[in-house]
Amino acid sequence: MSNQMVAMILAGGKGTRLKALTAKVAKPAVSYGGKYRIIDFPLSNCANSGIRNVGVLTQYESSELNQYVGNGEKWGFNGVRSSASVLSPKQTEEGSSWYRGTADAIYENLDWLERMDPEYVLILSGDHIYSCTYNEMLAKHISSKADCTISVFPVPMEEAPRFGILVTDQNDNITQFQEKPKKPVSNLASMGIYIFTYKVLRDYLIRDAKEDTEHDFGKNIIPDMMEDKRKLIAYTYHGYWKDVGTIASLHEANMDLLCNDKTGEDIYSIFGKNRILSEDMHSAPQFIGPKADVKDSLINQGAQIYGKVNHCVISGNVLIEEGANCYNDVIMPGAVIQKGAHVENAIIGPDTLIETNSKVNVGGEEIELIVNKKAARL
């Protein structure tokens, strides 16, 4: 694909609804599935699409995310004609300031885009779980001679107010756009995936930067293009997609990795079509002790299981001691569940210690998040 299209991944949000998980780390760097970080998905999708140059726009608590992305070697972006560039807010003689919105983040990096000199720009959210390639979407953008193509996903009507909502005609032309409406007129949700013809995007970003707006794609750029009668096309995505913006949705997305009793399918069978690349942990294989009881769970390398585990996603370097009981849990890297502890319907954060004989959310229906750093000192 060369530089016909470059990608820019918006990875600077605070992710406040994930509570303590994002207190010291950017949301795209949060662990998922025992072996991934959320940012692995858009970066792998770009690599699988043949995109050679990617900009990752970071901001909030970005040090760990910046280090993780590095030069893009994990996803194959460290070649002679490819790159992954971490693009943080610039520091000048006048000082530095945070990106004012999603559109401003792209505007502030127009110099990077000018150096790339693309025909098209793919803009992605860095905090969604899905596996795809963007080639068909680009082909539709080109064939329809669109100024902007937006990937959409049908959602239940009761969830529609959480998203940007689009209305289309029979030819997929976008005729109406609502940003998180209280009374949605459609269930076609924007996935936060845009392909713009670069020259058109540049003009709108420059215009928006001069105006008193929220500098946001959903609130400003897309409505401005609609008002100007620009050609906007919808591309409907069919596949697994999850916005993991809350504790409950992050837990659900992890549980989706386990086998579905009704269909016999798991999300790995879907991911298998397009490999999701991640950091190699360089740790020993998982160890299941002789008295352990493990059912319907995903146990990743480096984990040591001596207790009872049922319907859990267990990350690397987790220790579950003999006599511990875990049910319907997501246990993140480095956590320790000591003997006699009973944990249900919970996300246990990285390096968290659940002490001997503790009871966590036993009988609770809502998902509980437990985060401390005690295990890091063991």
Q: Is 307 a member of any domain?
A: yes
Whether residue 200 lies inside any domain: the answer is: yes
Mean pLDDT score, 170-181: 93
- Asked if residue 176 and residue 236 are part of one domain, the reply reads yes
* 294 backbone φψ class: left, alpha, beta (φ>0; ψ -120 to 50): beta
Is the pTM of the predicted complex or chain greater than 0.85? Answer: yes
- Return the pLDDT at 267: 63
d(CA 204, CA 220) in angstroms, rounded, equals 10
- What confidence score (pLDDT) does residue 2 get? 47
8 Å CB contact between 237 and 129: no
Same domain, 292 and 233: no
Q: What is the pLDDT of residue 265?
A: 60
Q: Tell me: pLDDT of 272 over 70.
A: no
Q: Looking at the domain assignment, is residue 58 inside a domain?
A: yes
Indicate whether 263 pLDDT > 80: no
**CATH at 304:** 2.160.10.10
Q: Are residues 229 and 293 in the same domain?
A: no
User: Which residue from 189, 80, 196 is spatially nearest to 134, judged by alpha carbons?
Assistant: 196
214 shares its domain with 363: no
- Give the rounded percent of residues in the chain with a pLDDT score beyond 90: 78
* Position 255 in a domain: no
Residues 49 and 100 in one domain: yes
User: Quick check: is 259 in a domain?
Assistant: no
pLDDT digits (tens, 9 = 90+) for 23-65: 889 999 999 999 999 999 999 999 999 999 999 999 988 899 9
Same domain as 202, residue 76: yes
What pLDDT does residue 378 have? Answer: 47
Q: Where does the pLDDT of residue 97 fall: very low under 50, low under 70, confident under 90, or very high at 90 and above?
A: confident
pLDDT tens per residue, range 198-248: 999 999 999 999 999 999 999 999 999 999 999 999 999 988 898 898 999
> In this model, does residue 358 exceed pLDDT 50?
yes
Q: How confident is the model at residue 281 (pLDDT cuts 50, 70, 90)?
A: confident
Q: Is 196 left (phi over 0), alpha (psi -120 to 50) or beta?
A: beta
Q: What backbone torsions phi and psi does residue 70 show, to the nearest 5 degrees? A: 55, -130
Q: Are residues 136 and 27 in the same domain?
A: yes
pLDDT of residue 52: 95
63-89 pLDDT, tens digit each: 999 999 999 999 999 888 899 999 998
Tell whether 181 and 291 lie within a shared domain.
Answer: no
pLDDT higher than threshold 60 for residue 264: no
pLDDT at 179 over 50: yes
| Tens-place pLDDT, residues 112-136 | 999 999 999 999 999 899 999 999 9
**220: exposed, middle or buried (C-beta count within 10 Å: 0-12, 13-18, 19+)?**
buried
What is the predicted pLDDT for the residue at 377? 41
DSSP assignments along 157-168, one per residue: GGGGGGSEEEEE
* pLDDT for the residue numbered 167: 94
More confident residue, 129 or 3: 129
Whether the predicted pLDDT of 259 surpasses 90: no
According to the model, what pLDDT value does residue 261 have? 56
Q: Tell me: do 46 and 144 sit in the same domain.
A: yes
Residues 297, 187 share a domain: no
Average pLDDT on 168-192 reads 93
Q: Which structural domain range is residue 346 located in?
A: 282-377
Q: How confident is the model at residue 349 (pLDDT cuts 50, 70, 90)?
A: very high
User: Do residue 224 and residue 316 come from a single domain?
Assistant: no
In the β-sheet with 319-320, what is the strand arrangement from edge to edge?
Answer: 287-288, 304-305, 319-320, 336-337, 353-354
Q: What is the CATH number of the domain that holds 81?
A: 3.90.550.10
- What per-residue confidence (pLDDT) applies to 288? 97
Structural domains counted in the chain = 2
